[in-house]
Amino acid sequence: MNGPLIVQSDRTVLLEVAHPEAEEARHELAIFAELERAPEHVHTYRITRLGLWNARAAGHEASQMLATLERYAKFPVPQSVVIDIEETVGRYGRLVIARDASPDGQSGDLVIRTTDAAVLAEITRNSKVGPFLGIRRSSTEWTLQPWARGQVKQELLKIGWPAEDQAGYTPGTPHEIELVENGWTLRPYQQQAVDNFFAGGSGVVVLPCGAGKTLVGAGAMAAADTTTLILVTNTVSARQWRAELLKRTSLTEDEIGEYSGQVKEIKPVTIATYQILTAKRKGEYAHLTLLDALDWGLIVYDEVHLLPAPVFKLTAELQARRRLGLTATLVREDGRESDVFSLIGPKRFDAPWKEIEAQGFISPASCYEVRIDLPQSERLEYAASADDERYRLAATAPAKLGVVKELVAKHAGERILVIGQYLDQIEELSDALGAPQLTGSTPIADRERLYQEFRDGTTPVLVVSKVANFSVDLPEATVAIQVSGSFGSRQEEAQRLGRLLRPKESGLPANFYTLVARDTVDQDFAQNRQRFLAEQGYSYTILDAHELAA
């Protein structure tokens, strides 16, 4: 045994980065473990219950996970870890939520069943689960309240008994949708994602940015042939979905509606923004009627890692409708990954970023962390500031401006995104570079115009806020310069690199730069931000700002 992994009894796993088998081990380990720390030489993963259950729901057995650990371990895997993984994975599916047979397949009683009477006895005595129970039929079966399907799954997950939902779904109002494959077909991994989703019933498909999550959504719609509600992050994203569906499917303009702040259309396929669904008037959600406006057979949640908290509560009521979540990362900075698992569904398909890159479907990318020294006066101001002010001071350091100019000059002729968190910093960058800025206050029409000018090369440099983090198709972007971000957000780092991963007609490689003020919380947050991408196999080359001119 001389592999790159050291498996420890506290369920942490250390990965020796320089080992010749490190990349193979990382690829296998990421299926069921989460990266916690990624310094230069040894990365630390943690095996969690939710990670194991997501892997099991995606079709991976405990024996496969243990085989990965044993194959790559430097020392014997502790027996306690072996037993823990077997028992934790074995909990998934011991409880099944089902529906009694009935002529229409939907109106029978909702029931919870088990092959282990002791498990059912345990959960029925739980005070949080009790209110959802109906009648005890036997030692292995209870009825559930007809409205409790989502809530009971949430509570069962919290007490360590994830239920497998086999209660079926309403077919919705039939509506024929076909893929129009003019010179293209679903890629093998996209078709596998669609197949896995339908085999599981509902759940989440995880694909890198640029790998065609929208096409997976279109494939699922074509397979379902039903009225579909698509929930997206913003109006620009809604219009990109609309354009893609018109191009890729048999749907016509008259069949696709937009439901947003600007337009309120309800059609057989309706694309709505999360903002409109969570908008309140006089303390009440003003647009909840949308959820019952048609007999939806499929609900698609785009960028499910950004799902607003109120939508989870609404989704708990939608368990009879088939649900598809699409995302590049299941990481949520609010820690609500368990709600995604229980209410949208478990992970059904996950393609590692580097695997899709190796197949030639996304562009290779180089990541750089450029470290900048603060002048003495700014160092003193930083040191004297309160904790809650330090990040802003470091992130908006004036010294970053000159580095941005150098990088823009270095990549002259390429499409460059300069990304910032703070509006005054964005304005300063825009003025200094003579480049347009795009923020949350930019009108939708102007956003679409600026994005199009960037795509066709009329505007080669665009200064953007976090509104460009997600659901924006900028295929020819080859350089991103991240000047500041949302503290230590791993999901944001993944989305920002994702802007560069769509294959380029130019054939140019992608370069992702993060500017970091040395010896500040900016540097600490940067390390956390990089964790998800490190798990996907990306490494950051550390550059000193003084080296750029060389």
Reply yes or no on domain 188-357 having CATH 3.40.50.300: yes
Each residue's pLDDT tens digit, 288-300: 888 888 999 999 9
pLDDT at 354: 79
Query: What is the CATH architecture of 363-547?
Result: 3-Layer(aba) Sandwich (3.40)
Closest-CA residue to 479 (of 467, 497, 495): 497
Distance CA 132, CA 111 (A): 11
pLDDT at 27: 86
**Under CATH, what is the fold of the domain 95-165?**
Translation Initiation Factor Eif1 (3.30.780)
Distance CA 280, CA 286 (A): 5
Q: Where in the chain is the domain with CATH 3.40.50.300?
A: 188-357, 363-547
pLDDT at 112: 95
pLDDT at 181: 85
The list of the chain residues with pLDDT below 70 reads 102-107, 468-473, 475, 487-488, 549-550
Q: Where in the chain is the domain with CATH 3.30.780?
A: 95-165
pLDDT at 549: 57
Segment holding 456, helix H or strand E: helix 444-456
CB 148 within 8 Å of CB 298: no
Exposure string for 177-203, b = 16+ CB within 10 A, e = fewer = bebeeeeeebbebbebbbebbbebbbb
Strand 347-350 relative to strand 437-438, pairing: unpaired
Instruction: Find the farthest-apart pair of alpha carbons in the chain and give their distance in angstroms, rounded.
Output: 78
> What's phi and psi for 410, nearest 5 deg?
-60, -35
Coil vs helix vs strand at 58: coil
Each residue's pLDDT tens digit, 334-383: 778 888 899 999 999 988 777 888 888 888 888 888 999 888 888 888 88
Distance CA 45, CA 11 (A): 8
pLDDT at 104: 53
251 DSSP 8-state letter: -
pLDDT at 531: 75
pLDDT at 384: 87
CB 217 within 8 Å of CB 258: no
Burial grade of 26 (CB within 10 A; 0-12, 13-18, 19 or more):
buried
pLDDT at 283: 80
Strand 269-273 relative to strand 141-144, pairing: unpaired
